Amino acid sequence: MAKIFFKRCEETFEIEMPEGTKVVHAAYKLKLPEVPANCRGKCQCGTCHVHVDPEWVDKIEPMEVDTMELFLLKRQKSYNPELSRLSCQIRIKDEYDGLTLSLVEDNIPRN
């Protein structure tokens, strides 16, 4: 099990998830509106975009080069080449205990 933290401004949400689970499923369980994941975690929409805390960028599996993940991320308003990831592409490992991700508001519908 690994404890995952999602940050929104001054708020922090935490959840424990088993190894092998995708980070997007942690966001589902927390019902975070910033992570609607419209394609249900299949790397087809980009709506599970998060920013990885700088402390964790080099500790998690890196994004593969020239992938659909990068293609989708580059189209996001809050794309940051050093921090942006799709949460559907990060599989939790026990050593990710404490992984911290910042939520981005790109995907919240505006009325």
Q: What CATH number corresponds to the domain at position 45?
A: 3.10.20.30
Give the list of residues 6+ apart from residue 71 with CB closer than 8 angstroms, or none. Answer: none
> Taking a C-beta distance cutoff of 8 angstroms, is the pair 5, 17 a contact?
no
pLDDT at 110: 62
**Domains in the chain, number:** 1
pLDDT tens for the 111 residues of the chain, in order: 999 999 999 999 999 999 999 999 999 999 999 999 999 889 999 999 999 999 999 999 999 888 999 999 999 999 999 999 999 999 999 999 999 999 998 777 665
Q: State the Cα angle at 15 between 38 and 45, rounded to 5°.
A: 15
Domain region containing 103: 2-107
> Taking a C-beta distance cutoff of 8 angstroms, is the pair 59, 96 a contact?
yes
User: What backbone torsions phi and psi does residue 42 show, to the nearest 5 degrees?
Assistant: -105, 15
Give the list of residues 6+ apart from residue 69 with CB closer than 8 angstroms, or none. Answer: 43, 63, 85, 86, 89
